[in-house]
A = this chain, B = another copy of it.
Amino acid sequence: MKEFDIIARYFKERSHVRRDVQLGIGDDCAVVNVPQNQSLAVTTDTLVGGVHFPNDTPPRAIAHKAVAVNLSDLAAMGAEPAWISLSLSMPDVDEHWLDEFSLGLQELTEYYSVQLIGGDTVKGPLSITLTAQGFVPKDQALTRAKAKPGDWLYVTGTLGDAGLGLDMLQGRMDVPPKHRNFVANRLNYPTPRVLVGTVLRRIASSCIDVSDGLIADVQHILNASHCGAVLQVDKLPLSEAMRDSVLAEQGIRYALTAGDDYELLFTVSEEQKGNLDLAMATASVSVTCIGQLNGVQGKLELRDGKERYAFEGKGYQHFS
């Protein structure tokens, strides 16, 4: 099959259609329109087979994750997703693989009303690069840089599940049978917190998604905002699956260092706490306060209750 046939059969015909797309797949460029008074948020993430996912990951999961990772970046800016471009590098044309992959892409893009507007298919080692674009009202984008001392540190959902899922699938950890699906899905089918991100626009002072691991991602906020923080390990939200699978200390380790959870980590000023509670009252995802920022620039202190919590460990680093 030729490149043009692949694009037409598996991607163009299965794409969700948006009215702001003037020209989609099939020309030298896509042509799209951004609404007035909206800025455009743009993000790119690459997933390499054997590095970011085991090569035997189901193609539907690879597609889901590639989209989710990018939508999660949009969510962390408070942006509403609109379009994605896909670059798919694969060693050969496996029609079954392509069929499953494009269905995974279709599921998530339809759910979030995102249109695939273009891309490239090339022969090479398995690798997926997605660029996602979304809208955020002018001057309302959430960044990492505007947290202030005194702000409270929050996180959505539960932490560490994806890391536990990876260890389970690779035979390093035992998980009780009733939780296995849950942790595998947390790894392979993460949920980008798109709606929460848009709700946080007027409430949060800073926001990031947890992709490198909590410690690393808190540190990104601290560095960008020139703050420090105290993080309460006794407050870390752990899933029932996590609590049933590992001892408390190991659960904390997963929550602090495992990447790939794609929860939102954000800060809220004392004055906005009430608004956060109101806004989240009807949301389908929980938020948990896990600490507070202070003025000790760049320094992250871990505590268990009132005691200092000694911990050596970092988040995910690509080239360390």
A residues engaging B (CB < 8 A)?
A: 1-3, 6, 22-23, 26-34, 36, 39-48, 50-52, 73-74, 76-77, 79, 83, 85-87, 89, 92-93, 117-125, 127, 129, 131, 133-134, 136, 138, 141, 143-145, 207-209, 224, 317-320
Contacts and interface: CB of A to CB of B under 8 A. Distances in A.
A81 to B, nearest CB: 11
A87 B85 CA distance: 13
Nearest to A136: B31
Q: Kindly name the residue among A120, A145, A207, A320 whose own CB sees the greatest number of chain B CB atoms within 10 A.
A: A120
Contacts of A124: 46, 48, 50-51, 125, 127
B43 A39 contact: no
Given A28-B77, A29-B77, A76-B28, A2 B320 contact: yes
Q: Kindly name the residue among A6, A83, A118, A124 whose own CB sees the greatest number of chain B CB atoms within 10 A.
A: A124
Contact of A28 (B2, B36, B73): B73
Q: Kindly name the residue among A76, A85, A92, A121 whose own CB sees the greatest number of chain B CB atoms within 10 A.
A: A85
Given A42-B83, A42-B131, 19 more contacts: A1-B319, A28-B144, A29-B41, A29-B42, A29-B141, A30-B43, A31-B141, A32-B42, A43-B85, A43-B118, A44-B87, A44-B120, A45-B87, A50-B124, A85-B131, A87-B129, A92-B319, A124-B127, A129-B129
A197 to B, nearest CB: 10
Contacts of A224: 26-27
Contacts of A51: 122-124
Given A6-B319, A52-B122, A144-B27, A40 B32 contact: yes
A8 to B, nearest CB: 11
Contacts of A46: 87, 89, 120, 122, 124, 129
